[in-house]
Amino acid sequence: MKVLLVDDAAFVRMSLKKILNDADFGFEYVEAGDGEEAIEKYKIYSPDLVIMDITMPKVDGITAVERIKEIDSDAKIIMCSAMGFQEKVVDAITAGAKDFIIKPYEADKVVKSIKAVLKLDEE
């Protein structure tokens, strides 16, 4: 499975990758550093899952989710944001995100969210 990691901070994408590698999902990774790049890479790679930051240059995460859902209404997107931006949860879910996680990432919460969104425990 392919996962698109979207965050303007490279170290955040790296820490996410470490969590996902440690959890043995066996994902292939595609990365984007802003919302515009995320939309482009979604079109090219059709990832099975997107993990999307909110605050980013050019196109923010909420707008990117709306655009990706227009391209693929079945897109599975987990939104994430730093502590203190919880009011964005509603915007994210309205835009079409399936779940919301708070940074800094806690490995068990990230893994649980991914399993729920991809319905991995049901197989």
Question: Which is nearer to Mg ion, 38 or 118 (by Cβ)?
Answer: 38
Total binding residues toward Mg ion, as defined by CB under 5 A: 4
Q: How far is the CB of 80 from Mg ion (least distance, A)?
A: 9
Q: What is the DSSP letter of 66?
A: H
The closest of 117, 110, 83 to 18, measured between CA atoms, is 110
Question: Which is nearer to Mg ion, 10 or 120 (by Cβ)?
Answer: 10
Answer yes or no whether residue 53 interacts with Mg ion by CB under 5 A.
yes
Cα separation, 17 vs 82, in Å, equals 18
Q: How far is the CB of 84 from Mg ion (least distance, A)?
A: 13
Question: Which is nearer to Mg ion, 89 or 116 (by Cβ)?
Answer: 89
The closest of 88, 83, 20 to 50, measured between CA atoms, is 20
Sign for the CA dihedral angle at 25, 31, 37, 41 comes to negative
Cα separation, 8 vs 11, in Å, equals 9
Q: Which of 3, 4, 8, 118 binds Mg ion (CB under 5 A)?
A: 8
Q: Which of 19, 23, 36, 55 binds Mg ion (CB under 5 A)?
A: 55
**Sites of contact with Mg ion (CB under 5 A):** 8, 53, 55-56
